[in-house]
Amino acid sequence: MNEHRGAAPLTIYLDVDGVVTTVGYQRQAGKDRLNPTQVALVAGLVTEFDAKVVVSSTWRVDDCRPTLVKAGLPETCFHPDWRTAILPTSRDAETGGMLPAERAGRGDEIAEHAARNRILDYLVLDDVAVGPAHAGRHVRPIAESGLSEADVAQARRLLAGMDVVR
């Protein structure tokens, strides 16, 4: 694990659908089943960089941490403020229900959480666009298959670059 010389830990904003559970895996294993291979890839990044996880997925509506831990994330990996806020722009104005990720302003939710928690060094793992504010911090896997080797290599490069600056 990396030493951060007193600096705040690196943070990974984690989407669930399309990252640690994929369209292809759910067709095979069932809806809302987490892919252990994908979870292991994220757990590897968390462990290697001693990173904290913030859930930015719609899975944050309920406490999904036990499910993520059971699937393989380290129990102690979650940031104290473990999920992004559900902003008014994240809900359908008529029904009050959560909007699909593509329309929910997830990038705004991440920016609000990072600002509120004074997080400067973070990575976003999400299969949808999160906006230009997160350019150079976003790894966007394909929802069908989740994180690829290239995605993990990119995530590792981005996190290592943040760690060097610290």
What is the C-alpha separation between 25 and 13, in angstroms, rounded?
A: 22
Residue 166 has a pLDDT of 58
Specify the DSSP element, H or E, that contains 10: none
Model confidence at 38: pLDDT above 50: yes
What is the C-alpha separation between 158 and 166, in angstroms, rounded?
A: 13
Residue 109: which of 14, 43, 16 has the closest Cα?
14
Lowest mean pLDDT among 13-22, 28-37, 51-60, 132-141: 28-37
Average pLDDT, the chain: 89
As to burial, measured by CB atoms within 10 angstroms (0-12 exposed, 13-18 middle, 19+ buried), residue 82 is: middle
pTM passes above 0.85: yes
Computed on alpha carbons and rounded to an integer, the radius of gyration of the chain in Å comes to: 15
As to burial, measured by CB atoms within 10 angstroms (0-12 exposed, 13-18 middle, 19+ buried), residue 160 is: middle
Residue 16 has a pLDDT of 93
- Mean local confidence (pLDDT), 147-152: 96
Alpha helices in the chain (DSSP H): 23-29, 36-49, 65-71, 106-116, 149-165
- Mean local confidence (pLDDT), 57-62: 86
- Mean local confidence (pLDDT), 84-101: 81
Contact between 110 and 84 (Cβ < 8 Å): yes
Contact between 5 and 121 (Cβ < 8 Å): no
